[in-house]
Amino acid sequence: MGIEMRLEVKVSHGLHYQGDAMAVPLFQRARNRGYHGLDKATEGEWKGPFCFIQGADTQYGMIADFFTEKADTGWQEEIELTRKAIAAANKMTPRPKFFIVCGDLVNSFPGTEGREEQEKDLKREFMDLDSEIPLVCVCGNHDLGNTPTRQTVANYVDKFGDDYFSFWVGGVKFIVLNSQFYEDPSQVMELKEKQDQWLDEQLAGAQTSGCKHLVIFQHIPWFLEDPNEGKDYFNIEKELRLKMLEKFKSAGVRTIFCGHYHRNAGGFYGDMEEVVTSAMGCPLGEAKSGLRVVRILDNSITHDYYAMDDIPERVTLSNPSL
């Protein structure tokens, strides 16, 4: 009887969680501008510090493309790097509350050779992520094309979920943006305006939502080192950048996490931090392929980048200001 009861409790608890998480396929959870199971009703309350993993630019196919200029040599290296990242995430204590990949999931642009195979392989690898660590995807320029069209956006949404949405984890509000709308919206002005309007509503609502922190994720960084730097390939045009940074700061955004640069970088706009994270796939700077562990603390957000072989098994959630 005792054993039966225990089993029943265990099974029903398991079913409750698994049922909820498994009901929606892994890459279909970002829908209706939210993320399945990570809403304010279930995750709106602050229950203390936690950690999550932020990676960027898995970009299956770039290593071969960049170093050999032959796209047909495959992406086995990227696959091995993903496996290391997933193994480390699955072993981490405390368990990361989610794993987010900030864009350029694969290298081949929409409709080009290798794209479907790269997507298929990436999705297969992430199936090994612990089912209790939600995977959150952000779209990058390689995912949508440098000049997105309605079709490339629709294809991405179909394959990976919404291109922009918000979600809640442990009392913190997270906003995921489609940064391609800031880079080149020329073919999708209508979609860009919809995101603008939605974002304004999200930011206005955040101030009265009671969120502990407000955090943004996007692919292309607003700036690399200095909010006043000039435009180059890896950042957003200055006038729009300064307007948006001011908007985020006024709304109380604490941190903006990005990728795209394939190097670690970032800086501050007032007391708002922008963090640029190097690649899970092909690095272009000194840092080796890796990911960032982010700690959400009472009064601060701290983070460290680790090469895939150096990711810690234990994360200390202490507040340096205490």
Tell me the β-bridge partners of 176.
165, 217
Q: With respect to Zn ion, which residue has the nearer C-beta, 254 or 260?
A: 260
Residue number closest to Zn ion, CB atom: 260
The least distance separating Zn ion from the CB of residue 220, rounded to whole angstroms, comes to 7
Q: Which one of the spans 4-12, 103-111, 131-139, 314-322 is the region binding Zn ion (CB under 5 A)?
A: 103-111
Q: How far is the CB of 62 from Zn ion (least distance, A)?
A: 10
d(CA 13, CA 256): 35
Minimum CB distance to Zn ion smaller for 107 or for 202: 107
- List the one residue from 49, 96, 134, 140 that touches Zn ion (CB under 5 A): 140
Determine, following the binding rule CB under 5 A, whether residue 141 of this chain makes contact with Zn ion. yes
104 binds Zn ion (CB under 5 A): yes
Using alpha carbons only, what angle is made at residue 199 by residues 195 and 205, rounded to the nearest 5 degrees?
150
Number of residues binding to Zn ion, judged by CB under 5 A: 4
Residue closer to Zn ion (CB basis): 101 or 206:
101
Interface with Zn ion by CB under 5 A: which range of 94-102, 133-141, 178-186, 201-209? 133-141
* Token code pair at residue 273: 């931090």
Measure the CA–CA gap between 306 and 91, rounded to whole angstroms.
Answer: 15
Report the sign of the C-alpha dihedral through residues 300, 98, 265, 286, in that order. Answer: positive
Going 312 to 175 to 219 to 266, the CA torsion angle's sign is: negative
Residue with smaller CB distance to Zn ion, 255 or 277: 277
Evaluate whether 33 touches 162 at the Cβ level (below 8 Å). Answer: yes
- Kindly tell me which of 138 and 169 has the beta carbon lying closer to Zn ion: 138
Contacts of 64 (CB under 8 A, 6+ apart): 70, 71, 72, 73, 74, 75, 77
171/281 with CB nearer Zn ion: 281
- Residue 277 touching Zn ion (CB under 5 A): no
Report, in Å, the least distance between residue 122 CB and Zn ion. 15
Q: Minimal distance in Å, beta carbon 91 to Zn ion?
A: 29
> In terms of CB distance, is 82 or 180 closer to Zn ion?
180
Q: Which of the residues 245 through 274 are near Zn ion (CB under 5 A)?
A: 260
By CB atoms closer than 10 A (0-12, 13-18, 19+), residue 271 is exposed
- 116-119 own/partner pairs: CB under 8 Å, 24+ apart: 118/60, 118/61, 118/75, 119/159
The CB-of-310 to Zn ion minimum distance in angstroms stands at: 24
Q: Please confirm whether the linkage preceding 94 is cis (ω < 30° from 0).
A: yes
- Residues engaged in binding Zn ion (CB under 5 A): 104, 140-141, 260
